[in-house]
Structure 1
């Protein structure tokens, strides 16, 4: 059985790599956080199994390189006991993750839009799409008992929510309408010292 530390390759931003980093931190999985510049990525691209990042070198010859950010996050979350303790909790985790992915894709759409389109997209997100998606998250949290998305234990979904809230930090008026989510973030950080330490010390990036 390999004891090598996994190596995460991604750019020096949060983006699609941050959830994996949060899983490693919360799951107490020691890893190498390799943050590449565009120039370094041009050299490393040939090593990626799909030609994109993030990817993880497991250090295990039988597994090799892992691709696709969502699959990587779920793989290590399962190893760390962060995918629920039964089939129902697994569903609750995935339900919240799908909602979070919808939010993430809205943010990606905004980031990739031409500058002249961004004001209208931001207005639409804050007035319509954001409230609908965030309200849905609150409903999911309440249906699971109000403590965590999968019930009484930390899961990948809670880490995903924390990650999305960080991405929405420049929309305080919107987030203020959903105190249940900001309280969840506080609860997650208070209950996991390793995760809180990682977030406190991670590089400050625009996204």
Structure 2
């Protein structure tokens, strides 16, 4: 069960999905309220570096519990632990990590949209990866647990990780992307119907697809024009 959360968290990132969306989803799933600062120009980013809060000179940055956390994986795991979404024991935590990391490998197929590949190529590559690797793994695991979740009997970091990618599969590939895998489709439909997930997806915290404006702002902030 999530602990009592006294103070609001604050996320600093670009005004788009990128590596920040999984953090937004995790915070929402963990019922941790947060505000955001969007980086659109170079100077505020340089100020963060000068202030010493970006040790690796990159975002996202999450201020939470009197800490300044960077590195997406570290942030997501902290939020998962704080929200009671990291397993009941070390074995469950290891399984959650395993499936979460698998979701990140799958997610990489979509991370390159606009920056490196066309949508058509991304969808083609993602379908191949889904059919050959990720969907069979999900189906097998869901049959093993029988709970509707990848580990244990409630939502964990692993489920949120895969939900992010399944949302992209449907958004980019259409509603029929999951049709050949009914267990995966039922899993997806179950997750998006969870009240705190549904609220996130319909609200302002859910960012638009990464578009040309997002790419322009990222390049400007990172001085990569």
TM bracket, shorter-chain basis: 0.7 to 0.9
User: 1:31-73 CA deviation, whole Å, 9 max, x = no partner?
Assistant: 112233245654555242321111112251xxx3101101100
Q: CA separation in 2, counterparts of 1:206 and 1:66?
A: 25
CA displacement, residues 1-42 of structure 1 (integer Å, 9 cap, x when unaligned): x94422111111122111111111111112112233245654
Please name the residue that 1:140 is paired with.
141
**Equivalent-residue separation in structure 1 for 2:41 and 2:145 (angstroms):** 42
| 1:178 pairs with one of 177, 181, 187 | 181
Q: Is 2:129 the partner of 1:129?
A: yes
The total of aligned residue pairs comes to 199
Secondary structure of the residue that 2:99 maps to in structure 1?
helix
Q: Does residue 57 of the first structure (1) align with residue 59 of the second (2)?
A: no
* Cα RMSD (Å): 2.5
CA separation in 2, counterparts of 1:125 and 1:87? 32
CA spacing shift, 1:145–1:40, aligned 2, 3 Å: farther
Q: In 2, Cα distance between the equivalents of 1:188 and 1:199? A: 11
Which runs of no fewer than 5 residues in structure 2 stay unpaired?
A: 211-225
Tell me, in whole angstroms, the C-alpha distance in 2 between the residues paired with 1:94 and 1:28. 21
Q: CA 1:177–1:58 in structure 2 vs 1: closer, same or farther (change >3 Å)?
A: same
After TM superposition, the score normalised by the length of structure 1 is 0.82
In the alignment, the residues of structure 1 paired with residue 65 and residue 155 of structure 2 have an alpha-carbon distance, to the nearest angstrom, of 27
156-165 or 28-37, larger mean C-alpha shift: 28-37
* SS of 1:82 mapped into structure 2: coil
- Relative to the length of structure 2, the TM-score reads 0.76
